[in-house]
Structure 1
Amino acid sequence: MDQKTILVAFGGASPEHEVSVITSHQAIAALQESNYSITPLYLTKNGRWLTGETLLDLKNFEDLKKLEDSCTPCTFGQNEFGQPVLLEQKTGFFSKPKTTPIFAVIDGFHGSKGENGAFQGACEMFNIPCTGSGVMGSAIGMDKVMAKTICRANEIPVAESVDFFEPDWVDHQSTLITKIESLEYPVIVKPVHLGSSIGVEVVMNQESLIRAVEAAFKYDDHLLVETVITPLMEINCSVLGSSRAQRTSVCERPIGKEELLSFQDKYLNDAEAKGMASADREIPAKIPDELTKAIQETSVKVFKLLSCSGLARLDFLVNEETHQFYFNEINTIPGSFSFYLWKESGISFTDLLLELIDIAVEDQNQKARRIQSYDTNLLSQKAVKGIKGLKSKK
């Protein structure tokens, strides 16, 4: 019996491109002993879709030009039976394109079009089960302002903030600075649609604020400036499930050289390609049981509110003295799939990925059970004549 094929999709046009490559290769390694056949789907930094055996070796990514030249362009398609397939470009004039039926996709993108719902939409168009949240949950989760607006409306505490687009900053800089300074320094500047602490900076005065805003606009046209919680303790919790059922991991406390965890702290503390697994952290977090329970319950509430599915990591800002906590952000595709949190809960990385695949398949089956079309005579001869009549009146 042929093995079912799982695509592991990663890369993409994102500042987090390299982080995505590491996360996805961790997943590929964890699935080597599974009953699935693994096929890589790599999106280059300029948006090309590629596949090929050379993508399975992380060392080959040291020379991207050479790697890309060794790969085969591909896209989604359907075979004669209506099954979704990975369609590889023809290699010869008389050759037929190779087609590989797709059982499911493991989405390993971080940031931009792979995590914001765009890639998830492509999978939905071809009826391909895709791990993680769907179009809406992914889009909301990627937008810090929208996610916090929904949380605030549902009485989930978030830090006070000001957000603005680049044209607003150009036209009304002094007004925005006044609004920001009403929060009182220090404040933290963040791109709205990025993760991994890229473009994030704590500022102490107006001069550093202007510099940080100009730097962050290099990554995103929408920025968020928030009051800094101090003394700060970051606490994260992962949620696994769907709209049908959810469960939480243990909580973790990331530990960096500064209060704010940087890209360096998250990904560059270890010479090996361990991604988020290399970051320093305290697991389980040494916090009171009642605080752990409150954060876990809030994590599930946010997961459901934002229409998430699969696996997500939710990050909270906690006042270390009062234990008042604030929702910071949700990562619908967390670095290393947060397997280190679930390992502490007794679930191996391989089993975690297999469960994510099962959830994705069941989510797709649930959609397929719904009515997909509505019988109507709208294109009957009478209706078509009516449309022609409208054209003649122009």
Structure 2
Amino acid sequence: MTEPSTSVQQESVERPEGGERRIRVAVVFGGRSEEHPVSCSTAASVLTAMDRERYDVLPIGITREGQWVVVPDDPEPLRLTPSNTPEVPAGSAEVVVPLKAGDSILHSFESGTVPSVLGAVDVVFPLVHGPFGEDGTLQGLFELADLHYVGCGVLASAVMMDKHYMKVVFESAGLPVGPYEVVTDRQWRNDARAALARVEKLQFPVFVKPCRAGSSFGISRVDTPGELAAAIEEARRHDPKVIVEQGIDGREIECGVLQGHDFSEPRVSELGEIVVTGGHDFYDFNAKYIDESSVQLSSPADVDPAVRQRVQEIARDAFEAAGCEGLARVDCFVTPDGEVLLNEINTMPGFTPSSMFPVMWAATGLDYPDLVDDLVQLALERATGLR
């Protein structure tokens, strides 16, 4: 943990009389990706859950244009509901993150004025989903600043954000994945017909996805070859590189993974299952965040003990193969004959109390506030700089 080194830092966190200095946590959310509202909603849940007797919380929002601003410590306007799509508002003062090793003091800067001191930060809790947040870019900034932060490092964040290279890593580690094809921007522009011919060799239905997007943006289920081109164009609106995955006849079973404390092995949760109803073809954005009544999240999942053990083994192995830290949600398919296929890892999964990752850990015995606390403690344990 970065200890205060100046009187300004020491004054930035109140001390209960006779008590220890509270740990100062910067909760960072919003961002430039399409998942901006989801990130705000995640932050609302974390801000609500954090123990203010133990933690001094500094909420920092990133606008869609990339401006960092201090926002009020009020979670209610940040909640994503059918009637509210939250946004981080632009401000006149901008937060400046230190880039000098050993300097954990944040400043607020407004053009034409002297920068004001926001104080030192012990750990950053980044809740930015998608590109420019979950993909290693934000993590690289924290590494440059020598700041402790929650979650995976630069490499794991970047590779696991790209569904193509994610599968390359899994395959090289001997982990089972389903059939897929990748269509790059160059391939599509130069010879779309050849790209379609490759994809059409997969068994239908297939799922067409942007390689580097989340929250089911741009994903289409395709039942016939004639629908492929339009689905690829839709995915390309979100990312010029597209992955097409063969549909798997099976149940979608998930497992949460937490890094072990003090160099112990990763911990795995009870399994969870998502059952989508209400006219949704798959677990799309509306099913996840708007029409939640159409989704049933079940944990512990009703699976055979041997399947449970296999999913947990694959989840732990995938976490290790990717070099993950902190947390991850591992998504698998279980076929009718009990085969387990690894679908993907999410390094900053949905994190509201009703999201699958916290639901699975609650079923394992770790409730939401304790889960938030566990992640902050893991961040404080991790080394900064080269390791």
Normalised-by-shorter TM-score class: 0.7 to 0.9
CA distance in 2, matches of 1:252, 1:60: 24
CA distance in 2, matches of 1:66, 1:118: 19
Aligned to 1:324: 339
Change (3 A) 1:102 1:54: closer
Which one-letter code corresponds to 1:264 in the other structure? N
Aligned to 1:136: 155
Change (3 A) 1:351 1:64: closer
Is 2:329 the counterpart of 1:309?
A: no
Aligned to 1:246: 266
Is 2:188 the counterpart of 1:169?
A: yes
Which one-letter code corresponds to 2:104 in the other structure? P
Alignment of 1:90-239 (within 5 A): 90=110, 93=113, 95-230=114-249, 232-239=250-257
Change (3 A) 1:344 1:33: farther
Which one-letter code corresponds to 2:340 in the other structure? F
Higher mean alpha-carbon deviation, 201-210 vs 5-14, is at 201-210
Choose the corresponding residue for 1:269, options 291, 294, 297: 291
TM-score between both structures, scaled by the size of structure 1: 0.84
CA distance in 2, matches of 1:34, 1:82: 26
CA displacement, residues 71-103 of structure 1 (integer Å, 9 cap, x when unaligned):
631121279x9431221114874x442231010
Change (3 A) 1:124 1:354: same
Is 2:383 the counterpart of 1:364?
A: yes
Shift of 1:318: 2.1
The alignment yields a C-alpha RMSD, in angstroms, of 2.4
Shift of 1:110: 0.8
Higher mean alpha-carbon deviation, 197-206 vs 247-256, is at 197-206
Shift of 1:206: 2.4
Stretches (4+) displaced over 4 A: 54-57, 59-66
Cα contact 2:37–2:86 (8 A) shared by 1: no
Cα contact 1:54–1:60 (8 A) shared by 2: no
CA displacement, residues 179-204 of structure 1 (integer Å, 9 cap, x when unaligned):
11111322110111112111111112
The alignment of Structure 1 onto Structure 2 pairs a total of residues equal to 357
Cα contact 2:332–2:341 (8 A) shared by 1: yes
Aligned to 2:55: 36
Which one-letter code corresponds to 1:68 in the other structure? A
Change (3 A) 1:213 1:87: same
Identity %: 27
Which protein is bigger by CA-based radius of gyration? 1
Which one-letter code corresponds to 2:109 in the other structure? Q
CA distance in 2, matches of 1:178, 1:96: 58
Alignment of 1:368-383 (within 5 A): none
Aligned to 1:389: none
Aligned to 2:95: 74
Change (3 A) 1:205 1:64: closer
Shift of 1:279: 4.6
CA displacement, residues 31-51 of structure 1 (integer Å, 9 cap, x when unaligned):
044411111111111111111
Aligned to 1:280: 296
CA distance in 1, matches of 2:161, 2:194: 27
Aligned to 2:4: none
Aligned to 2:25: 6
Aligned to 2:372: 353
Cα contact 1:48–1:73 (8 A) shared by 2: yes
Higher mean alpha-carbon deviation, 202-211 vs 246-255, is at 202-211
TM-score between both structures, scaled by the size of structure 2: 0.86
CA distance in 2, matches of 1:233, 1:291: 12
Which one-letter code corresponds to 2:271 in the other structure? C
Cα contact 1:117–1:136 (8 A) shared by 2: yes
Secondary structure at the aligned position of 1:77 is classed as coil
Unaligned runs of 5+ in 2: 1-14, 16-20
